[in-house]
Amino acid sequence: DAGVIQSPRHEVTEMGQEVTLRCKPISGHNSLFWYRQTMMRGLELLIYFNNNVPIDDSGMPEDRFSAKMPNASFSTLKIQPSEPRDSAVYFCASSPGQRGGNGYTFGSGTRLTVV
Amino acid sequence: AQKITQTQPGMFVQEKEAVTLDCTYDTSDPSYGLFWYKQPSSGEMIFLIYQGSYDQQNATEGRYSLNFQKARKSANLVISASQLGDSAMYFCAMRGVQGTSGSRLTFGEGTQLTVNP
């Protein structure tokens, strides 16, 4: 089991550029989550999918953020245009079930710096 | 809505001693799960221990145990025989089982633990 795989590990981009973060969940996990971690706001849930369908995107900061899950093995989080305040660590996590005691397995995160 | 509170921004412990990291929660869900994660300086999130709200016994995983007091809505993490490698940020988190809260994992602010030699 390779775990949750995120790419890239680090991304430095200029303000105004489009950024795409990628995630491959654990095979067989049917829930996928995108979190953002900053010093000021801690860990925030941005969006989650169940069986590839977005269930709750209320945590997405604004229209500049979008997420897709075209199939069970791949998800993207896109920021367009990026701004310096988007600088954070973005985690993807997957879970085998929507409810109860199934914990999340986190990827290693993508550290995004927007200059 | 779910809320997790960790009131200890930082904690210090001597190597080989036990330490308790506090966590209180608030939820309207009749059933829920409580988790602890460790985040070392390298940044990854490592699952440590899980407690279900209807579990009769407190959860234990090696040197980690969860002191679950349902009436007080607390789920403190106890680390026994601290090691230098335990120095990290520790997050308490909750997951409900109903509705849309049934999937979201809500995190506390975290406690930075430092183990001194």
Could you give the angle at the alpha carbon of A52 between the alpha carbons of A50 and A53, nearest 5°?
70
**pLDDT score, position B90:** 98
Residue A32: pLDDT over 80 = yes
Query: For residue A27, what are the CA distances in angstroms to A31, A56, A99, A100, B95?
Result: 11, 22, 18, 19, 22
Closest CA to A102 of A30, A25, A24, A13: A30
What's the confidence (pLDDT) of residue B104? 76
pLDDT tens-digit readout, B29-79: 888 889 999 999 999 999 999 999 988 899 999 999 999 999 999 999 999
Task: Give the closest-approach CA distance of B106 to chain A in angstroms.
Answer: 8
* Each residue's pLDDT tens digit, B75-95: 999 999 999 999 999 999 998
Are residues B5 and B24 in contact, defined by beta-carbon separation less than 8 angstroms? yes
β-strands B10-14, B111-116 pairing = parallel
- pLDDT score for B2: 84
**Nearest chain B alpha carbon to A32:** B103
Interface test with A, best of B27, B41, B45 (most A CBs within 10 A): B45
Query: Does residue B98 surpass a pLDDT of 80?
Result: no
